[in-house]
Amino acid sequence: MVQYGVAVREKKHDAKESSENTFVTRAKAIKFLQVSNAEFRKLCILKGIFPRQPPKQFAGLSAYYFKKDITHLARDPVVDTLRRLHAYKKKHTKFTYLRDEHALKFLELSKPNYDIQRLVKERYPTPDAAIADLDDCLSLVALFSTFSTSHTNVALKCRNLLRQFDAYVAGTSSLRRSFVSTKGFYFQAIVQSQLVTWSEPHKFNVEIPEDVELEVLKTFVDFYMEMLKFVLIYLFKQLQIQYPLQQEENGVDFILEKTLFIRESISQFNFKQTSLQQTVFNNQIYKLNREVPRDQLEFLVLCGGGNVISSSVEDDNRVTHLIADRQMQPIPGREIIQPQYCFDSFNVGVCLPTYEYAVAQQLPSHLSPFQFDFTTEKQTDEVQYVPERLTQLVNYYKQFVLQIKPEAVQMLQEQESIKERELLGQIVKLQGADQELESSEEELKTNFDYDQKIKQDLEIDPKLRQQKGMLSQRKRRVYDELLEKEDSIKKQREQLIQKRREKSKKEAREEK
């Protein structure tokens, strides 16, 4: 009897952990919450709940969600506001049909709205977690900024937020990569020691197809705009600059004006140069013709340390480069180049020869910095084909770094010493390490603080993380990368400790 009772208990325990009690289908979740399909989709977007894949599908091919997520969603005040919005729409259609303008005015005053700020704080408790999910946010905001006909208010808000973020990246010289393709422009910047990659589409008259559900994209954009505001407030607060940035009515471009303002305000911090891209276009003044993409080129030139003159100024002797995309007569004392020159020069970190990018010349191939490394001829194993243009760019880089600008080599050596300092500085304390490395307290800080914050937000046990289902795919990827990074850092630290010990032994032997 005892053995039979034990067997029954084990069966009950297994039934509690089965997929039927852990997961719930989409139809059952909608029936439990008593909302429509569109409202349920909006709830999942705002709360960050996405479908899961159970180990064994028990109800055929359908979308599954964690049961804990749905029960937690039922208690959220957003569900109540969506129900009140549904009732508001019914009353609005009724009063418009009856043409009761007096009742419509009072009804619009009492329109319910859900608090997106609270949702952003719940999903991203720290600014670092929000910056880690900034890729999709910037790409969608950039897409909506190109809409002009039926979404003017949303497009203007997205455009202002994107320009403010571009001003921050250009003012702090955080951009590292850029690429142009048929789909648009791709950029990658380092924001608070994290890589942020986003895309901006080409500016054309966009005709939205009927298959695209704009209501779904609108819910994403509403959330992303509020999220981007929070990130911008945090970033400008770190620079001791008041947000939001306001444009002065003097005819100067917004990005140009605010970039110069940010550079002046952060000059007191004495930032050191960390890459060649920060000073590519130093002491160069560019003028952009009307047929070239002005926003992206202006942003790229400012990130490289150059300056841009407004297109309203016709003749200015200070202009060194004119960017055009049509045949023009040569102007003495001014280089006329095509837009690809700026992108290639920025990616390599070297001002390339201008005759290759003249207006009448055929352009060389535009290589992606996300795939190729322009500093060495040895590429990764993933790169199977090495084009001829890559060898030319590597030669330009070596000639510039070793002959024309040898201080760049010293800069790279300083970066390597900083990496050693990061590995040895916080955990391992050797005798006289501070005197040998000449490091300050700020340089001794490593990324372990950020790792601890992420580990506090995430569960250490992966099974518990998957059961709770409160993490996005981006956070899971970051968590796995952090674990791999920590293991590699431990190995590098052990190797450096051995090298230091061998050096100390050799010095002791020489002294004897």
- Where do the domains of the chain lie, and which CATH numbers do they carry? 11-75 (no CATH), 81-114 (no CATH), 121-268 (no CATH), 278-400 (3.40.50.10190), 409-511 (no CATH)
C-alpha dihedral sign at 300, 302, 306, 307: positive
Q: Using an 8 Å Cβ cutoff, are 276 and 303 in contact?
A: no
Q: Using an 8 Å Cβ cutoff, are 192 and 128 in contact?
A: yes
H helices present in 316-459, as ranges:
340-348, 388-399, 407-425, 433-437, 441-444, 448-457
Residue 475: predicted pLDDT: 62
Residue 487: predicted pLDDT: 79
Residue 99: predicted pLDDT: 87
Residue 427: predicted pLDDT: 34
Running along the chain, 512 residues long, what does each successive block of 10 average in pLDDT?
46 53 88 90 91 71 86 89 88 89 86 88 90 93 82 86 92 91 93 91 80 87 94 90 72 72 72 74 89 91 87 72 87 88 92 89 90 81 79 86 60 50 37 39 37 46 48 63 79 82 82 74
Rounded-to-integer distance, Cα 363 and Cα 367, Å: 12
Name the token pair of 288.
């952009």
Residue 228: predicted pLDDT: 95
Residue 177: predicted pLDDT: 92
Taking CA atoms, 36 is separated from 15, 67, 222, in Å, by: 31, 18, 20
pTM to 2 decimals?
A: 0.73
Q: Using an 8 Å Cβ cutoff, are 192 and 131 in contact?
A: yes
Residue 70: predicted pLDDT: 92
Residue 103: predicted pLDDT: 87
